[in-house]
Amino acid sequence: MIYMTEYDDWSAIDLNHPSTFDTLAMDHKLKQSIIDDLNRFIKRKDYYKKIGKAWKRGYLLYGPPGTGKSSLIATMANQLRFDIYDLELTAVTSNSDLERLLVGMGNRSILVIEDIDCTIELEQREEGEGHDKSNSTEQNRREEKVTMSGLLNFVDGLWPTSGEERIIVFTTNYKERLDPTLLRPGRMDMHIHMGYCTPESFQILANNYHYIEYHDTYPAIEKLIKEMVVTPAEVAEVLMRNDDTDVVLHDLVGFLKSRMKDVNEVKTEHKKENNKMDEKKEDKDNDKD
C-alpha cells in the first residue's frame, strides 16, 4: 500500500509496482549491500532496544533523474512488505500538520520525501534577529511554518517513537545542495548513489524486457554505454519500443550512436568557443606589449 498526502491527511492507494531486486538495474555489489543492510535492520529489534535507539533507518538516494530512485524505493517496500508514505512537503502548511501526518503513519512503513533539496524552502528560524515580536500574527505564522528544524526534530524524536520498523528515504538529484545536518549518521545512515547506465545494468534491463542474456549487438552497446552517459530510464524506453528483440537492440545501437554524435558535436563547439576566447585574450595581451 502507498499513502499520499492529501490536504492534511493520508490517502491510500494500492501499490502495484512489480520491481524486485532481481529486476532492478543496478550494480550487483551495490544491490547486495542494500539487501544486506535492510535484512540486518529488520533482524535487530532487540539490538536497537538494548542500545537505547529508535528502531529506524535512514537512506539517501541521490543521482541524476531517470536513474531508478523511485524503482529502488518500490523494491525496498516489496522486499520488506512495508507500506510507503509519500510525503509531499509542499502540501504541508505547518509543523503541527507535519506532526499529525508523521504520528498517523503505521508500523512497518517507509517515509519518502522526494527531491528534498527543492520541494520546499525549509527555513531555519533565527529567533530575535530581524523580527518584530509585537506583531503576534506574523510571529505565529512563522512559528507554524514548516521548517527544517521542525522536520528534523520530528524525524529524530517523535516519529520513530510513535511506531516500530520505520525507514525514511530522502531523494535528491543534487546531493551537494543539501543541508549537511540532513546527511549525518542517525538521519541518513546509508548514502546510495544512483548512477548512469552501465553494461551490467543494461544486461538486466534487456533480460527484463526481452528475456535475453546475450545478443550479437551486446559488444557494440556495452562499448557505447562505457563511453557516454545515458540513464537506465532512457535505455528502458528504447527497449520497450518493439517486441522484436533483434529490431529493438539494433535500434538501441542507433540511439546510442546518435547520442554520442550529439555529445561530440557539443564538445567540438565548446572547444571552438574556448579557442576563440583564448585567441582574443592572446591578442589583447599582445596589444598591451
Distance CA 3, CA 105 (A): 9
Percentage with pLDDT > 70 across the chain: 82
Distance CA 230, CA 234 (A): 7
201 pLDDT more than 70: yes
161 pLDDT more than 50: yes
Full-model pTM: 0.82
Instruction: Report CA torsion sign: 260, 226, 63, 28.
Output: positive
What SS3 state is found at 162?
A: coil
Residues 6+ apart with CB under 8 A from 193: 62, 63
Region 194-218: what's the mean pLDDT? 96
Domains of the chain (ranges; CATH) run: 2-193 (3.40.50.300), 199-288 (no CATH)
pLDDT in tens, 59-70: 999 999 999 999
223 with 237: CB under 8 angstroms? no
CA distances from 198 to 34, 68, 132, 228 (A): 18, 13, 56, 10
Q: What is the mean pLDDT of the chain?
A: 84
Question: In this predicted structure, what is the pLDDT of residue 279?
Answer: 61
Closest CA to 54 of 152, 144, 145, 158: 158
Beta pairing partners, 169: 59, 112
